[in-house]
Structure 1
């Protein structure tokens, strides 16, 4: 279905307002527990405003072990908005939500430029609407999508800089370097990949080095937390543990499954007849990473939804898209109702049911990956042929 820029703008604005209405219940009730879980309107924005000293104007990384648990740009955004917005937890949430709404509108318009025929799906996706103001992820998602947009349009310098900024905001986009390397390899342009990766790294260092040198403990907190954390909410490992399969060495198993998944993806991409666009395959990387990671935060669906939309091939993919969105909204309700029970609500979701729904969500995301990958099956070549591929068709 073809839509205009005005329609996308209107839909994105409507989605932002609907999401705000959902979260505003908690703002009006002072973000109390278990109410904020019962009504599925919990947000990290007000929670961390006081817990990380942002209400006192404290620099995001100056508190050592109490510093914000995010990369540099996200921490700077959290701190800067707290400095500019009038004091008060709800003022902070409303101001931050306004900026996130503007980012969502920008992302919707960018998706329209990349995939106009399916762009309406992003502002209509229920799981994305439900998750818009949980965290600050949209700042990183916007720059990641810019990196993808520019890469596929051969603006590689701008893309590399945008990717470095995205990684400095939320670390997840670093995994896009894998399909980018494969695309350059398929094009026999590995020197360009080295240059691209170097620019990304230089951008990352330029942003991070001042903070790492001046407040090293606070800067390192994000990386230390992710290296040493155990299985957490939403993860495969947490669900299996609750269902009686408490595997040991979960850190190693997570890394092993990630390596297997990314290696399988690399082999698959190397067998395609022509080098794919980054926009077509970025979703594969993110699904693999999120399926085996040690945590899956509810707002992570905001990363997957625009990538899924721009990867859709035709209307036959819509059924699996909506099936996956249904599983994501089911998980969105499950995590909050389980936390409601944990925090003393009269009604809630038992841990076993929550864990089963977690596995359903993971399974639905893998089904989406398999369906989208199958769209490329007709473009496959024999393994011995991929080194010859420079973009021409094979007989």
Structure 2
């Protein structure tokens, strides 16, 4: 079913309002625990406003021990909105989620530009709608999707700049350089990849250098936390540990599994008949990374959902898409109900049940990956589908 852009944007507005209603309970109650977990309306936005002393006007990276745990663009957004908004956590929360709602409209628009026949699925995806206002990730997702859109239209310089901005907002998009490199390799344009990489790196350096040079320890805190953290909520390693399989050297195992997954992806992309588009392959690298990482935050579904939508081939894929969304929604409530039990709620989800649901979510994402990979391999027209719609073709 294909609908117009106005319908997609209207659905996005309605979804933003539904998500606001879900999160507004916590706003009204002051984000008290365990209530914020029982009602599944926890958000990092009010939590970090006080914990990182943004309410006192402190620069996001001024403290080595208490700097925000995000790259610099996201940290700057957190700080600027705190400086500009009248004092008070409720005002801070509402202005930030208003900006996030506008970003969701933009993301819906870009999704329509890339995949108009399935764009309506994004604002209808229940797990994504339930997660809209958990934190600031939509800022990075918006620039990442714009980078994908421009890349597949062969506007490589703006794509590289946008990817550098996205990596400076949330580090995850750096993994897109892997399929991008393979696409250039398949096109036999290695020099163009070198230029793309250098522009992306230069953008990242230009954005990060002022913060690194002035508050290096605060800048480094995000990277240090990610390098040194153990297995955490939502990861396969945390779930297996809770189920009695205590694997040692989990950092090495995570890296090893990531390398295996990336190798399998490289082999898959290299054996395709034609060079793939980034729009159709970005979902693969993100599912691999998130399946083996040491943490899976509830808002990560916001990264996967638009990428899954633009990777769909036809309506035969809808069943697996909504099955995966259902498993993500199940996990969304499982993590909050488990945290409710941890923070003293009378009722909650035991750790064993939470861990089983974690594994179900991971299995569903891998099923989605396998389904899309098989469909793309079988459909010989998919690599050029996007470019055909824009009147372009591969050389």
Structure 1 length normalisation: TM-score? 0.96
* Cα drift, residue 391 of structure 1: 5.9
Matched, 1:2 2:7: no
Contact conserved, 2:100 with 2:132, CA < 8 A, in 1? Answer: yes
Matched, 1:360 2:360: yes
Give me the whole-angstrom Cα distance separating, in 1, the residues matched to 2:267 and 2:4.
38
What corresponds to 1:209 in structure 2? 209
Counterpart secondary structure, 1:64: coil
CA distance in 1, matches of 2:83, 2:95: 11
Q: Tell whether the 8 Å contact from 1:240 to 1:246 is kept in structure 2 after alignment.
A: yes
Post-superposition shift, 1:377? Answer: 2.2
Task: Give distance in 2, aligned partners of 1:319 and 1:287.
Answer: 18
Cα deviations across residues 353-386 of structure 1 (Å, max 9, x unaligned)? 0000000000000000000000122368xxxxxx
Aligned equivalent of 1:316: 316
Could you give the per-residue CA deviations for residues 34-81 of structure 1, whole angstroms, max 9, x where no partner exists? Answer: 000000000000000000010011100001110100000000000001
User: Which residue is equivalent to 1:148?
Assistant: 148
Aligned length: 383
Question: What is the 5 A alignment of 1:1-395?
Answer: 1-378=1-378
* Contact persistence 2:313–2:376 (CA under 8 A): no
Look up the match of 2:386: none
Rounded Cα–Cα distance in structure 2 between residues aligned with 1:88 and 1:379: 54
CA–CA separation in structure 2 for the residues paired with 1:377 and 1:149: 22
Deviations 1:79-128 (A, max 9, x none): 00111111101110000000000000110011011101100000000000
State the secondary structure of the residue aligned to 2:168: helix
Per-residue CA distance 1:2-29 (angstroms, 9 max, x = gap):
1111101110000000000000000000
* Structure 1 gap ranges (5+): 381-389
Question: Gapped runs of 5+ residues in structure 2?
Answer: 381-392
Which residue number in structure 2 is paired with residue 384 of structure 1? none
- Give yes or no for contact 1:52–1:68 (8 Å, CA) kept in 2: yes
Cα 1:120–1:379 shift into 2, 3 Å:
closer
Distance in 2 separating the partners of 1:310 and 1:32: 38
Residues 273, 379 of structure 1: 8 Å contact kept: no
Q: Is the 8 A contact 1:291 1:362 kept in 2?
A: yes
**Equivalent residues of 1:337, 1:348 under 8 A apart:** yes
Partners of 2:87 and 2:275 in 1: CA distance: 51
Deviation string 1:227-285 (CA, Å, 9 cap, x unpaired) is 00000000000000000001110000000000000010001000000000000000000
Q: Does the CA-based 8 Å contact 1:341-1:349 persist in structure 2?
A: yes
Q: TM-score, normalized by length of structure 2? A: 0.96
For 2:83 and 2:355, how far apart are their aligned partners in 1? Answer: 40
State how far apart, in whole Å, the 2-side matches of 1:40 and 1:360 are.
20
Task: Give the whole-Å Cα distance in 1 for the aligned partners of 2:20 and 2:114.
Answer: 27
* Mapped partners of 1:265, 1:3: distance in 2: 33
Deviations 1:129-156 (A, max 9, x none): 1000000000000000010000000000
